[in-house]
Amino acid sequence: MTDTGDGAGLCAGRVVAVTGAGRGLGRAHALAFAAEGAKVVVNDLGVGLDGAPASDSPAVQVVEEIRAAGGQALAHGGDIATSEGAASLVAAAVDGFGRLDTLVNNAGFLRDRMLVNLAEDDWDAVMRVHLKGHFLPLQHAAAHWRAEAKAGRTPAARVVNTSSGAGLLGSVGQGNYSAAKAGILGLTLVAAAEMGRYGVQVNAIAPAARTRMTEATFAETMAAPGEGAFDAMAPENVSPLVVWLGSGAACDGVTGRVFEVEAGRITVMEGWRPGPTIDKGERWTPTDAGEAARELLGRAGAPGAVYGA
């Protein structure tokens, strides 16, 4: 536990909801928040890697782990991509622990296909779980925080969204996922700008870690090392920054930012910003516009490579 003076951790007394926290990164975040004194609502619908229904409820196991370590947690099994599931997630925090301070949007799954083969249902399912699955909990939490602010109790509320390198640079075979994860970046910027007045800070991470989502594709690069060596791809390496972004005074003023987090590395992503520009002061012809575009491209830096290209 971090020593904050009261000996109770960086998130002592805070109530934190983590979606998709039954396994992988979400589980690591939930345990890390609990270790810093937070009371945690562990959400997980318990679905397969492709979103298909599964019988297990991994959220309950994570709650038991947190309680066994002396922490406080409760399980929530709702689908965060439905309004009902998102509303009941916020209600579970308020009813169970009296408040909600931090929302970590993390749940999701993959349906990878090349674009020419991508079924409409695979597009919809991935957009739904990631993009709508971020929007709905964010909206229900924001309504709660706005009501608190209007009642004179402006919160130190925090949202941590989960994007991906696929959303930042694109990823071959993941057109649906890349579009959803890029959408989450836009959502993060708007939420940060709209919700600051209610005491809400909103940031996003693009993590990389060994989970069931990545172990099939990156088995070699993500393999666990020998005993005693730093396990660079352990999901637990991503959680410390998430805990800090979900804390109170410690991260005050940090909002609308995106961080890549993997192994021992944290990188601020600087995002789209204007590069070389030409203003002709009047309308271009298509040929002139093309010449100008080529000249500008000659002066601009090359974009980062699309993953898998």
58 sits near ligand NAD (criterion: CB under 6 A) = yes
Count residues near ligand NAD (CB under 6 A).
33
213 sits near ligand NAD (criterion: CB under 6 A) = yes
162 sits near ligand NAD (criterion: CB under 6 A) = yes
Interface positions, 170-199, toward ligand NAD (CB under 6 A): none
Catalytic annotation on 55?
Answer: no
d(CA 82, CA 59): 18
- Kindly state the tokens that stand for 223: 């393999």
d(CA 86, CA 278): 46
* Burial (CB count within 10 angstroms: exposed 0-12, middle 13-18, buried 19+), residue 230: exposed
Q: Taking a C-beta distance cutoff of 8 angstroms, is the pair 111, 178 a contact?
A: no
Catalytic annotation on 198?
Answer: no
d(CA 168, CA 114): 18
Write the binding mask 16 to 55 for ligand NAD: x where contact by CB under 6 A, - elsewhere: ---xx-xxxxx----------------xxxxx-x-x----
Find the part of the chain contacting ligand NAD (CB under 6 A) among 78-86, 114-122, 137-145, 240-248: 78-86
Catalytic annotation on 39?
Answer: no
CB of 282 to ligand NAD, least distance (A): 45
Q: Taking a C-beta distance cutoff of 8 angstroms, is the pair 214, 251 a contact?
A: no
75 sits near ligand NAD (criterion: CB under 6 A) = no
214 sits near ligand NAD (criterion: CB under 6 A) = yes
Q: Of 208, 241, 245, 261, which one interacts with ligand NAD (CB under 6 A)?
A: 208
Dihedral over alpha carbons 240, 245, 250, 255 (to 10 degrees): 150
CB of 107 to ligand NAD, least distance (A): 4
3-state helix, strand, coil split of the chain in percent (to 5) is 45, 15, 40
Binding residues (CB under 6 A) for ligand NAD: these are: 19-20, 22-26, 43-47, 49, 51, 58, 79-81, 106-109, 129, 133, 162, 164, 207-209, 211-214
